[in-house]
Chains A and B, each alone.
Chain A
Amino acid sequence: MLLSIDLPLIIEKLVLIIVVVMSSLVIAMYATFAERKVAAVMQDRIGPNRAGPGGIFQPLADGLKLFFKEEIIPNFSSKFLFILGPSLAMLTAMMTSAVIPWGDTVTLFGREIHLQIADINIGILYVFGVVSMGVYGIMIGSWASNNKFSLMGGLRAASQIISYELAMGIALIALLMVTGTLSLRGMVAGQMDGIWNIIKQPLGFLIFLICVFAECNRTPFDLPEAENELIGGYHTEYSSMKLGFYLFAEYINMFISSAVMVSLFFGGYDIPFLNDGHAVEKIGQNWMAVAHIFMFLFKAFFFVFFFMWVRWTIPRFRYDQLMNLGWKVLIPLALFNMLVTGAVILGLQ
């Protein structure tokens, strides 16, 4: 039997994948540069400004430096696991970008293309599943390092991520009750030209935000990689590009988490105070899609800046304070949020 392969569809998806992956990589690269610049201006100094005009080529210099360094693999049993750790971290970081709606639809070459790689109807659940797999990257890396301190760092990371995933999930259940769909595209469509979910779920957003900080191992929850506590944490033994992968995966995670938060709570690519339906008729669908993409990226970049802003403001949590917060404060709060949301929805019917 002949399989009819829909070639235009495959080409369309391939192009989308390449574009999304490349832009995630470039954005993560410049996020490292932005982090240093933002840290600098918040500390009354100027950041790197020597590599290229205003320091623009600094990430390239960093990447090249990592390539030129010596690849050290410690002398022990499992070389495969040692290399697998950072690869897994990078893989899961990039896989989450598959379901994010970057824009509405674009009409090119007579085809309607959704600006989303995979519009599955369990969108946010897929994101959760992949992020949970990301913890494997850290655990495998710390175990394969054959080092007590890396193992401690990995254990802390794993327990931190697992604890905060629970609160995140419960906060999402409340959001699901409000929006009625798991698909990210459906959630954004529900917020277009309407009320953004942040107004309907402010407490849920706060809980989700705190949990996202914990998931990305960002201050104040960056104990796994705390330099002055565990030397390097789970990436002590890594050098050259494997370390580069770990650090890079963190920034990609940060960007993708910001994008997810924007899609869930801030209307995705919705332009505020502008009736998108009318605007489409005025300037055409393709230009509207471009405007949408810019809006989405602007919001995501604001959240990335917010991540950096918080990092350079507050000190990190001690491990027991961290677990205390995750289990004894956030989960009851998330449950309370869910109950109140349920009660309000029932009351309004």
Chain B
Amino acid sequence: MQALTNRAKQVDRRPMTLLERAYLPAIFKGMSITFGHMFKKAPTISYPEQTRPFSPVFRGLHILNRDEEGRENCTACGLCAVACPAEAITMEAAERKAGEENLYREEKYAAKYEINMLRCIFCGLCEEACPKDAIYLSETFAPANFQRKGFIYGKEDLLIPNPVTEPEAYAKAKGGRVTVK
């Protein structure tokens, strides 16, 4: 059979010589290798004091976005819930009342918006489906919890801080996110 490359090495099937059968030279060679490894620097990262940097497109926890005036973008259209392959998103819509123009962008908003982090697979399809640029996936992990109900994140857990009232927290939460207009 014709070999595809010329990197194949013929297996050495010669019987062991007396020196090889004594095992000892091979053992000493191995021991010198392990001894050498003792003095090399370990590539271990001491989490949580040190962390590895993530790429800016890393898919982590969800964030519900606001626009520059601090109004919530989400209109509870339900496209993210339909797009989600794990059916992790549920929402209930509500109508915007007269005095709430500074809170919500459009007449319809999400009164209840819940993501079940145990179901979510962090695929990012909700981010791609949203027409209002309202949900995106940030760079943090989902932290651990003792009970299942602690993993159902409501709207308050997901909303980004208001850029008008808390500008520093907003800037920090936005991070290095790349936005596509």
Chain A contact residues, CB within 8 Å of chain B: 38, 40-46, 309-310, 312-314
Contact = CB atoms under 8 A, between A and B. Distances in A.
Interface stretch (B27-35, B77-85, B110-118): B27-35
Nearest to A44: B42
Interface of B is mostly: helix
Contacts of B33: 313
Contacts of B38: 38, 41-42
22 contacts: A38-B38, A40-B42, A41-B37, A41-B38, A41-B42, A42-B34, A42-B38, A43-B37, A44-B37, A44-B42, A44-B43, A45-B42, A45-B43, A46-B42, A46-B44, A309-B34, A310-B31, A312-B34, A313-B27, A313-B31, A313-B33, A314-B30
A329 to B, nearest CB: 9
Contacts of B30: 313-314
A47 to B, nearest CB: 10
A312 B35 CA distance: 10
Interface residues of B, number: 12
Contacts of A40: 42
A314 B27 contact: yes
Tell me which of B30, B34, B38 has the highest count of chain A C-beta atoms within 10 A of its own C-beta: B34
Interface in B32-51: 33-35, 37-38, 40, 42-44
Nearest to A312: B34
Contacts of B27: 310, 313-314
Contacts of A310: 27, 31
CB-CB nearest 3 A-B residue pairs: A313-B30, A42-B34, A41-B38
A209 to B, nearest CB: 11
Contacts of B40: 44
Given A44-B43, A46-B44, A310-B31, 12 more contacts: A38-B38, A40-B42, A41-B37, A42-B37, A42-B38, A43-B37, A45-B44, A46-B42, A312-B34, A313-B30, A313-B34, A314-B27
B31 to A, nearest CB: 5
A225 to B, nearest CB: 21
